[in-house]
A and B are shown apart, each in its own frame.
Chain A
Amino acid sequence: MNGYVEGGYLVVTGGIGGYAAWLGTRAKKLRRAVVVVRDETSVQRRSQDKS
């Protein structure tokens, strides 16, 4: 076309794509961490209940 149009579309795609990728990665890591923490917490509570 003229370079500017392609550039504009690329910037928008890169911006939203980059943010989506960052969000996805962060959500995945946090979800794993939350699962681990919840498991640990429930194990601790059970051991405290027994004692």
Chain B
Amino acid sequence: MNRSGVLVRLIGLLAIIGIVGTYWMGLVVTPPDVFQGNLVRLVYLHPPVAWVAYLAYGVTSLASIAFLWKRTRNLKWDRLAASSAEVGVLFTGLTLVTGSIWGRPTWGVWWTWDARLTTTALLFLLYLGYLAIRRIPGDRYKVGTRSAVAGLVAFIDVPIVHQSVVWWKTLHQGATVLNPSLSPKIHGEMAWTLLLGFVSFTLLYVWFTIKRYQVASMTDELEDVEVDRMIRERLESDGGVLSGGAPRAESNFVDGGSLK
């Protein structure tokens, strides 16, 4: 295994250890909250999972910009944007479900059209739409371009989600750590557990995204070979003379399929 392979495995291992540690701290070590009781234990998962969704969409946006910019236009950025968005959708789904589970005993309902909940649900739908757009067949670069534009448009909702608890006074509580006064409202072992959760889930995001990127690279490579094979078969059936191999289709691997 090469050095990058070892690094990827190490990131995965650290993420798993960190998440197990977060579970142990969250379920066993930390005390119940004075107001929330045991429900506070869900707070060690919900904000880190939501943070990863923000991070994933941020990376999707940066990679989309890199793909759209002529100087850096390369399919590797498109693959990164798509991989990160897919992981983001997973974590947005987990954010909505964990929030709903916390909301039922706290608010008495599984769902309410609160500003934070609504904008988060919209974010989920926007990036599901982004993934759907990617599946529309077409030239690889055209698909990449329209997806990049869609990814950037969808990202507008991320700051709205974050600021929703400030702009609108709703049921959802304000930010615990990243609040406007930058004074965390959580301390001691509770704060450390939350911090461990943030670090662990961020590492998990990195690991998932790299793995998803590798899957996307291999899929592209196989599709490229399939196009080659179809062209060759077509030329042979048309009685074309093949000398020195069939003409190659435009390769998807501008970057040589790196990160494998």
Could you tell me if B225 and A41 are in contact, using CB atoms closer than 8 angstroms? yes
- What CA separation (Å) do A4 and B103 show in the bound complex? 10
Q: Identify which of residues 4-35 in chain A touch chain B, using a CB-to-CB cut-off of 8 Å.
A: 4-5, 7-9, 11-12, 15-16, 19-20, 23-24, 26-27, 30-31, 33-34
- Cβ of B122 within 8 Å of any chain A Cβ, yes or no, is no
Interface residues of B in 194-248 (CB under 8 A from A): 204, 208, 211-212, 214-215, 218-219, 221-222, 225, 242, 244-245
Interface size range on B against A: 35 or more
Within 8 A of A (CB), among B144-189: none
Question: CB of B23 within 8 A of chain A?
Answer: yes
Q: Mark B29-54, 1 if CB is under 8 A from A, else 0.
A: 00000000111011001100100000
A44 CB → nearest B CB, Å: 8
Docked CA distance A43–B92 (Å):
46
- A4 to B110 Cα, complex, angstroms: 11
A30 B219 Cβ-Cβ under 8 A: yes
Contact for B23 among A1, A9, A41, CB less than 8 A: A9
Interface residues of A toward B: which range? Answer: 20 to 34
**Given A11-B98, A30-B222: A4 and B105 interface contact (C-beta under 8 Å):** yes
- Interface of chain A: mostly helix, strand, loop or mixed: helix
> CB distance B94 to A12 under 8 Å?
yes
- Whether the pair B42, A27 counts as a contact (CB closer than 8 A) is no
Known contacts A2-B105, A5-B27, A8-B45; A15/B39 CB under 8 A: no
Decide yes or no: A2 and B38 within 8 Å by CB, A9-B45, A16-B204 being known contacts: yes
Contacts of A48 in B (CB 8 A): 242, 244-245
Q: Residues of B with Cβ closer than 8 Å to A?
A: 19, 23, 26-27, 37-39, 41-42, 45-46, 49, 87, 90, 93-94, 97-98, 101-102, 104-105, 204, 208, 211-212, 214-215, 218-219, 221-222, 225, 242, 244-245
**Closest A-B pairs by Cβ, 5 of them:** A30-B218, A1-B38, A8-B101, A8-B42, A5-B41
